[in-house]
Chains A and B, each alone.
Chain A
């Protein structure tokens, strides 16, 4: 198995019991996990830490609270969006998509610079013409 980020021998919890291996895809790439994993833990074991990006800024997001509180880890699972990766148990053949940046409105111009009346607009045009 490729996922080598697991603690197989824990000083307190003992060794990792044998578990069935399952496969799933994340953003089209195939990964394997263990039965009983959450989506987040299976991906973390594969070294994937970025589960989505912020819709507006595109900055990466991943596990934050890991208890289903913050929705930072939401992904799209089998076409259902807004699924929390940290709470959802992974199933064989799951198709998971990360959160992508969304289209943003054009940056607005400085509102102060707009003329408020037609008279102001005319005045501005005139100043421009004078130059």
Chain B
């Protein structure tokens, strides 16, 4: 069960998160910086709620306590050509 992948973009397992949380007794934000869970291509939109839940179990930190795992624009990964206004290749 512990070798289940939580963050698929950066390949972080439940075990990694649990061990790091126990070792450093840290916040979700620190977990992110130490393990890279939630820092991958999808922008953390897939695993953020799971990381928050795991943290609640391990350290009792509620999502949004102290320094939350923040969400910031762009909401989706956008290519520079799209930002520039070019149509995506159809």
Task: Tell me, yes or no, whether B30 is within 8 Å of chain A by CB.
Answer: no
| Interface pair B46/A69, CB less than 8 Å apart | yes
Interface of A is mostly: loop
B-contact bits for A58-89, CB 8 A (1 contact / 0 none): 01010011000111101001101010000000
Count: A-B pairs, CB below 8 Å:
32
Q: From residue 27 to 56 of chain B, which have CB atoms closer than 8 A to chain A?
A: 41-42, 45-46
Query: Residue of B at shortest CB range from A68?
Result: B76
| Interface pair A71/B42, CB less than 8 Å apart | yes
| Interface pair A65/B46, CB less than 8 Å apart | yes
Q: Hey, which bits of chain A sit against chain B, CB under 8 A?
A: 54, 56-57, 59, 61, 64-65, 69-72, 74, 77-78, 80, 82, 91
Q: Hey, which bits of chain B sit against chain A, CB under 8 A?
A: 8-9, 11, 41-42, 45-46, 77, 79, 88-90
